[in-house]
Amino acid sequence: MSRNLTLALLIALIFGHIVLAANYAAVTPYRQAGALLGLGKPQKIQDIGAPDERQHVNYVNHLLAGKGFPVFSPTDPNLYETYQSHQPPAFYVLATGWCKLMGVSDLTQKGDGLKLRALNVILGAGTVAGVFFLAFWGFRNPEVALAAAAFASFLPMFTALSGAVSNDPLLILLCTWTLATTALCLREEWSWKRIAVIGVLAGLAMLTKTTALSLAPVLLLAAFLPQEQDLPSEQGTDSILVAVEKLEKRRPKQPAFRMILAAGAIAMVIVAPWWFRNQTLYKDPLAIKAFNSAFKGSAQKSDLVAGIEATDPGSSGEMTYWKDWVGWWTSRSFFGVFGYMDIWMNERGTSFTGVSAKGAAPNTLYRMLLAVTVLCVLGWIIALTKEEWKETKSVQIVNAAFCVIVLLLFLRFNMQYFQAQARYLLPALGPIACGLAIGAWQLLGKFQRFAFPALALVFLGTNIFALSQIPDAFAQRIEAGNRLP
């Protein structure tokens, strides 16, 4: 594939993500009351739009009003409106600057809210580019890189997230580009310039959300992995000797200890002032204890397990919780669950309504997408045994390690609270997309060049289907909310 064609296709993917995310932003209600319909008895809530968007907007409004950074209080009688006030400030500072640039003054108004949503549309597009370069720098295969970017660009849950106000898109962007720069170091060489870039990106990520601390052990691991550099394709004796001589001249082969310290120091310079503030206010640099004290009203794992066992005394509440609640809910929300985990695709035989259609198979679309994903994962595992992918081992290890750490943090959270939302896994979107792209490439054999269009068509089609249904689903919830007392 030529360089110009690769660039043109990447631009098309970025543009496609922008168009889709803008559509999600346009059809998702903004600060609109309504009712939850897909989780049993209708329940009236103050906001049926994007999860936690109202509270993120309130944080930005606080800064726009010139009140400085909000102080989180678990005992705040208005806690529903302020429970995101513990978050690190990077996204909110960026959003405040964006609002001033766009002439936004009152984010309680839908028009100004849509302008703020546009910021994350742009950040989501930047992540698509980051996924491409993570795969391209890591694997040196433009078709695999395009397949990875296509998955990221058209994954409905990520596309919808790019159309909402949240600090997640900035976190995902920064994590993706941190890993992409690390992959470039592993395939070429570590340099002071790249170390500085990694330090800045990691520091900004930690200043966006504490999940970014997952980068620290992964970057430390990367420092001790061997560089995997390409030998010439025509491996005659002379060409191999020339290649070896060139590789031996590269310095440093691995980053010196002082380079690792420098990257860590850069990140700490960026995030330490915020941690010091938290320590002063909450006696906790990450403000986790304060947040947990306010999060006690959320669904607890222990309560759900007890409820399962009370309903079915012969069952294992623990197993059912992890398999049917966390596992199945998370699997479906990875592809797309909209609103407050209320609007599901093909949940009970019909799209989004939560009403069973006679003779219809429930969750059909989710099962199909999950089958495609599982096949790609198997293909990725097979690819790891192939000689052609051996030279990418260090990049693969870093990607896999980051996925595992993010997953463990997610499982740890669900050991206390029921929060089966796959968006918490999306900081690892880049590594996930790379693995699935490699898997699709491997499975297609002599038709490998179709990995990119196949992934693009599957997930683009899912987005188009979702966007055709979401407006009616939200309208039903607004109407139901108006009928409830």
H or E element in which residue 383 lies: helix 364-383
Considering only CA atoms, which of 43, 35, 47, 40 is closest in space to residue 481?
A: 35
Half-sphere exposure at residue 298, Cβ-oriented, CA atoms within 13 angstroms = 17
Residue 239 has pLDDT above 90, yes or no: no
Instruction: Note the pLDDT of residue 353.
Output: 41
What residue segments make up the domains of the chain, in order of their start? 3-483
Q: Which two tokens stand for residue 106?
A: 């009152």
Q: What is the pTM of this model?
A: 0.92
Give, rounded to a whole angstrom, the gap between the first and last alpha carbons of the chain. Answer: 61
- State the Cα–Cα distance between residues 174 and 428, nearest whole angstrom: 11
- State the Cα–Cα distance between residues 426 and 404, nearest whole angstrom: 12
Cα-to-chain-centroid distance, residue 246? 38
Question: Taking CA 178 as the corner, what is the angle to CA 176 and CA 181, rounded to the nearest 5 degrees?
Answer: 110
Q: Is residue 443 within 8 Å of 143, Cβ to Cβ? A: no
Cα-to-chain-centroid distance, residue 55? 19
Once rounded to an integer, what is the mean pLDDT over residues 315-333? 88
Once rounded to an integer, what is the mean pLDDT over residues 64-82? 92
What are the phi and psi torsion angles at 57 (to 5°)? -65, -40
Question: Taking CA 388 as the corner, what is the angle to CA 385 and CA 389, rounded to the nearest 5 degrees?
Answer: 60
Residue 237 has pLDDT above 60, yes or no: no
Half-sphere exposure at residue 67, Cβ-oriented, CA atoms within 13 angstroms = 12
Residue 243 has pLDDT above 60, yes or no: no
Once rounded to an integer, what is the mean pLDDT over residues 391-415? 94
Q: Percent of the chain having pLDDT more than 90? A: 69
pLDDT digits (tens, 9 = 90+) for 294-322: 766 677 888 888 888 888 777 788 888 99
DSSP letter, residue 310: H
Q: Would you place residue 349 in the very low, low, confident or very high pLDDT band (cuts 50, 70, 90)?
A: very low
- Higher model confidence: residue 248 or residue 149? 149
pLDDT digits (tens, 9 = 90+) for 363-373: 889 999 999 99
Residue 251 has pLDDT above 70, yes or no: no
What is the rounded average pLDDT for all residues in the chain?
A: 89
Once rounded to an integer, what is the mean pLDDT over residues 434-444? 95
Q: Is residue 61 within 8 Å of 107, Cβ to Cβ? A: yes
Considering only CA atoms, which of 288, 266, 281, 292 is closest in space to residue 87?
A: 288
- State the Cα–Cα distance between residues 114 and 104, nearest whole angstrom: 10
Instruction: Note the pLDDT of residue 367.
Output: 92
